[in-house]
Amino acid sequence: MTELSNGNTKVHIPSDNQLRNLSRVTAILCGNWRASLLAHSLWEFHNYQLYCTVRADDGRANRHRIDGITGPQTFDKIRIYVSIRKNERQEEGLVHELLHANLIPLGYPRFWIHDHGESEKFTLAGGIINLADHIPMLRAYLSLGYFAGRFLGPSRPLNKREARVDRDLQQIADKLTTPDGYLTQISAYLSSYNIRYEPIYLAEIVVKQRSESATGTTRKGPD
């Protein structure tokens, strides 16, 4: 990312790599202008720190990852990484992962899980949050003109516990469609499994990092 300085204010220009990532995303979404606008707005909101990799279809699930969270109250530069498979559901898969990231500027909390990253509770918490995210995401997905039947890609059947979690979340689905309702319900649900967590509002962190970057008070990382 290039900096142009004007007195005490710095204007950031996206790097060639960041522009290539945006181009990769918008090329996939070129047939849906609403989805293209979503991608561009996310790219700008996240200070151009949105990166997309398209991989050969190896049967694995698409993924999104948030980098830069080092603790419940400590952060490096926030970056969003999306990895999708090149197959007949490539476009819908990309939109699905972008909608996970879109929950951040919409004000939905993310959760720091205190249990160890390889523990059963950590894995369970990740599954709960992923399934919970899908509820507000699906409404946005449909509003972009996509079909509900292509919201999810092929995956293994849910095990008994995952199926129970999915049923529980569907019963409170209407309460998960606002950030406050999502926080209240998912906090209670995580607590019901004795999962220790802290909510994080990344939108505030991203905006703060943009402000600090503009005044030159934040340290730069690789682009």
Hey, what are 153's tokens? 């890609």
In tens, the pLDDT along 151-199 reads 998 877 888 999 999 999 999 999 999 999 999 999 999 999 999 999 9
* Beta-carbon count within 10 A of 158 CB: 14
CA distances from 189 to 43, 110, 134, 176, 216 (A): 32, 14, 16, 12, 41
Cα–Cα distance, 41 to 34 (Å, whole number)? 11
Tracing tokens 């509003």 back to the chain, one arrives at 143
In tens, the pLDDT along 191-222 reads 999 999 999 999 999 999 988 877 665 444 55
Task: Look at residue 11 and give its three-state secondary structure.
Answer: strand
In tens, the pLDDT along 5-31 reads 444 556 578 999 999 999 999 999 999
Residue 82's identity, in one-letter code, is V
What residue segments make up the domains of the chain, in order of their start? 1-88+202-223, 108-200
Chain-centre distance of CA 162, in angstroms? Answer: 21
pTM for this structure? Answer: 0.90
Beta bridge partners of 4: 11
Beta bridge partners of 198: 112
Strands 2-6 and 50-56: unpaired
- The answer to whether 52 and 19 are in contact (CB under 8 A) is no
Hey, what are 199's tokens? 């909510």
